[in-house]
Structure 1
Amino acid sequence: MTAKILPGRIQQLIINALVFQIGWFACVLGGTTPWLIVVMGLLAFHLLFLADRNEARFLLLVAALGTLVDSLWMQAGWMVFPGWEAAWIPPWLILLWMLFGTLLRHALSWLQDRWILATVLGALGGSSSYLAGAELGAAELPQGRWMTFLAFALTWALLFPLLMWIAKRWPSESGEIS
C-alpha cells in the first residue's frame, strides 16, 4: 500500500486510529444528520489519503456484515435504539461499521496472523464498545450489561478474526493479496 500524501507508515496508522476514535464518538454521541456528515467526511479522508483503490469495496463488505450481525442482535431483542423503528440498525451504526473497517487493513493489520490474540481482543474490545455506547445513551441493552457482554464477546470472538482473515486476503491496489 502506498501513501498518497501523508508521509510515513507509522503516521498513517496513528491518523487511522485517531480518525476512527473521532468517528466513533461522533456516531455514538451524535447519531444525527450533522454528525453523520462529519463521519462521511472522515471516511472520505481515509479513502483519499490512507487507502488504496480497492478499499471502498472492502469497507462496504464490512458494513454489510456488521449490519447483518447487529440487525440480528437488534431483532433478537439484545439491542434497542431509542427512537429507531426500522428492522435494521440505524445509519450511524452502519457508518460506524465502515469506520471500523478502516482499521482492519491499517492500524489493526498487525493482528492479521495472530488469530488467538485477535479472538481475545475481538471478544473484549468488540463487546466493550457496545457497553460503552450504551453507557453514553446510543442504545439500550434489555438483557443486562453482563449477559450482553458475554453474548457479544462470543460473537466478536468469531467475527473479528473472520474480518481480519478477509482483510488479509483482500486485494491491494496492485491486485495482490495483502
Structure 2
Amino acid sequence: MTHTGRVLANALWLQAGWWLCVLGAQRPWLLLLLIPGLALHLCLTPDTQGEIKAMLRVTLAGCLLDSVLGAAGVFAFDTVPLPLWLALMWLVLASGMRHSLAWLSRKWGIAALLGAAGAPPAYVAGARLAGVELPLGEITTWLLLAPIWAAALPLLLRLATRR
C-alpha cells in the first residue's frame, strides 16, 4: 500500500473507530471490532515498536485529561476514572497522530484551531450518543473544551512524535 493509501485508510479508521467507541458505550460488543482495526493499523505501520510507544503515550495523556475533566464535573461518567469505550477512543485517536494527523505536527496554529473547533462538537455528539451527562450543559462544556483542545491537540501531536 502506498503512503497516500495508508494515510487515507488511517483517516477512515479514525472515523470508524470513533463511531465504534461511541456506539460501544451502549452496545459493548461493538468494542470488539476495534481489535482487528487496531491490529491492521499496526500491521500497516512501518515502525510498529515506535507506533506502540506513541499510541501508549497519547492514550495515557488523553485518559488523564478526560479523567481530570470528569473529576472536575465537566462529564458525569458511570465509571471511574472513565469508561472503557472512552479509553479505547483515545487509543483510536492515538493511532492517527503519526499518520493521517501527522501533517498538523508541522502546523501548530492550524492544529490549535482544529482542536478548538473539532473536539467540542465531537465530545458533545459523543456524549449524546453514549449517554454521558454534561452537568455544565452543552454550551458551557463546548466553551470550556475549545481552549483546552486548542492546547491539547498540538501537545498530543508533539507527544506522539517524541522519540
Deviation sequence 1:79-115 (CA, Å, 0-9, x none):
113xx232x1111111110110111100011111111
Rounded Cα–Cα distance in structure 2 between residues aligned with 1:36 and 1:29: 8
Q: TM-score when scaled to structure 1?
A: 0.85
1:65 pairs with 2:58: no
Distance across 2 between alignment mates of 1:140 and 1:120: 26
Paired residues of 1:28 and 1:138 also in contact (CA < 8 A): no
Displacement after TM superposition at 1:138 (Å): 3.7
Asked if 1:155 corresponds to 2:148, the answer is: yes
Sort the Cα spacing of 1:143 and 1:123 in 2 relative to 1 into closer, same or farther, 3 A: same
Structure with more helix by fraction? 2
- Corresponding residue of 1:134: 127
Out of 30, 37, 46, the residue aligned to residue 32 of structure 2 is 37
8 A Cα contact 1:123 1:156, kept in partner: yes
CA distance in 1, matches of 2:24, 2:101: 25
Q: How many residues align?
A: 161
1:40 deviates by: 2.4
Q: Secondary structure at the match of 1:38?
A: helix
Structure 1 residue ranges, 4+ long, deviating more than 4 angstroms after superposition: none
Q: State the partner residue of 2:79.
A: 85
Task: Give the TM-score taking structure 2 as reference length.
Answer: 0.92
Q: How far, CA to CA, are the matches of 2:85 and 2:46 in structure 1?
A: 22
Consecutive unaligned residues in structure 1, runs of 5 or more: 1-6, 172-178
- Distance change in 2, residues 1:137/1:33 (3 Å): closer
Corresponding position: 1:20 with 2:14? yes
For the residue of structure 1 that corresponds to 2:90, the secondary structure is: helix
The answer for the alignment partner of 1:76 in structure 2 is 72
Aligned equivalents of 2:46, 2:65: Cα separation in 1: 25
Larger radius of gyration: 1
* Distance (Å, rounded) in 2 between the aligned partners of 1:9 and 1:46: 13
8 Å CA contact retained: 2:121, 2:142? yes
| Aligned partner letter, 1:110 | W
Given that 1:29 and 1:138 are in contact with CA atoms closer than 8 Å, whether structure 2 keeps it comes out as: no
Aligned-pair CA distance for 1:127: 1.5
Aligned to 1:10: 4
Q: For the residues of structure 2 that align with 1:122 and 1:137, how far apart are their CA atoms?
A: 21
- CA separation of 1:62 and 1:51: change in aligned 2, threshold 3 A: farther
Q: Which has the higher contact order (CA 8 A, sep 6+)?
A: 2
**Identity in percent:** 37
Asked if the contact 1:40–1:95 (Cα under 8 Å) also holds between the matched residues in 2, the reply is no
